[in-house]
Chains A and B, each alone.
With several copies, the nearest count.
Chain A
């Protein structure tokens, strides 16, 4: 099981959790995050563009960083690309650890860096056929910056 998948297909949270836990008995905590497509005013869905190859490597680097920073027994990131409908899962992050703080913090860390470092671009697709590229948020940069000392 690779730690990172970039795929068009939906993901199965329960199957991914079971894979991450396997038959290990040293895991005390599994934290997870799922990012979903919302139906904000008039939104029919979203389309995610990525940079094949480079996106996978960028996420793998973030995962390595998380594994170095937190005492994890494992983690898993699945990020989808292509068209999404409201309610669809876009991203799944799982982190397992002996203790809860490491698992929860690792998930926050992975999400903050995914938002600011992984080459994905979201396009909002409206019911009237128009489109709008989502703009990056200063909030997201601030969230990622809190993991950088100083």
Chain B
């Protein structure tokens, strides 16, 4: 599963993307966030406040309850600030 990080999530994790294989008990976007937070101090800092984080599964924006199913790509990012 490909994970993408944007803005301060990219900055805190120190990476723009990574390929991961979460264990079978990780079944939702929220569960994935908790599991990714354990991958190191940068990841822990990035996921310290899940309420500030938005996610998209296969480019479809979703909440933390979204089942991962056979997702190939999950992106994490802060609320957008363009325009």
Residues of A within 8 A of B (CB): 35, 48-51, 54, 57, 79, 90-91, 100, 111, 114-123, 133-136, 140
Contacts and interface: CB of A to CB of B under 8 A. Distances in A.
A121 B6 contact: yes
B7 A49 contact: yes
Interface residues of B, number: 16
Return the 6 tightest CB-CB contacts between A and B, nearest first. A120-B82, A136-B79, A121-B7, A115-B83, A114-B83, A134-B81
Given A49-B7, A51-B6, A54-B59, A121 B75 contact: no
Interface of A is mostly: mixed
9 contacts: A48-B82, A49-B6, A57-B59, A79-B82, A100-B83, A115-B80, A121-B77, A133-B7, A140-B83
B21 to A, nearest CB: 24
Interface of B: 4, 6-8, 10-11, 56, 59, 75, 77-83
A50 B80 CA distance: 9
Question: Which of B4, B82, B83 has the most C-beta atoms of chain A within 10 angstroms of its own C-beta?
Answer: B82
A108 B8 CA distance: 29
Nearest to A55: B82
A148 to B, nearest CB: 17
Contacts of A134: 81
